[in-house]
Amino acid sequence: MPTALITGASRGLGAAIAAALAPTHTLLLAGRPSADLDAVAERFGAPTWPLELTDADSIEASAEVLAELDVLVHCAGVAYPGRVAESTPEEWRATLEVNVVGAVALTLALLPALRAARGQVVFINSGSGRNPSPGLASYSASKFALRAFAESLRADEPTLRVSTVYPGRIDTDMQRDLTAYEGRDYDPARFLKPETVAQIVADVVTTPPDGDVHEVVVRPRPR
């Protein structure tokens, strides 16, 4: 089976993507070492791939063991809720370091393996990567930058398939933090299920080889 490496695989959407791809792909589950990541790995009989997106040297060293890689799914990310005036330079640096620089570093390190397989890179972006969201200044900026990197990668690496998925708000721990910041009660029914977005990612990944899905936008249906 083809091999798929998924970042942020320890929980939430990343774990759901692992479940959606498990029937068709050999999985590599990337993330910071944790009991959650180990549990997902045990569930699917898949190896873990220790990953710290803020450590470029360790990323490069880890990538050397992969000669070919069919699919890279960028799902890891951080968000610090706050409007522009409430944000700090430290939060901006931390957000951009993980959401953009880390994704770039990992893609560059794995580029030889992806080229060898004529593979695919899938970026999990956000509605905030198309329209900035109030209270998510640094996060929105990072997602706009990630969108630009994906489009640059597609232009510069024509043998690869490069796809970006722009989900609306998803029922995850990150969403709970944002809802708490907004001072609202949390209602999971208002948001997309992780499994719904994961199935869309799986559909993108399993697109027949003569097709190339550039972008997918999905939003929760109004209740």
Instruction: Classify burial at 185, counting beta carbons within 10 Å of its beta carbon; exposed 0-12, middle 13-18, buried 19 or more.
Output: exposed
| DSSP β-bridge partners for residue 122 | 73, 163
Q: Cα–Cα distance between 184 and 163 in angstroms, integer?
A: 33
Question: Of 143, 151, 158, 167, which Cα lies nearest the Cα of 219?
Answer: 167
Selected catalytic residue, list 139, 166, 181, 186: 139
Does the active-site annotation cover 181? no
Structure tokens at 200: 């869309």
Q: Cα–Cα distance between 156 and 191 in angstroms, integer?
A: 35
Residues involved in catalysis: 139
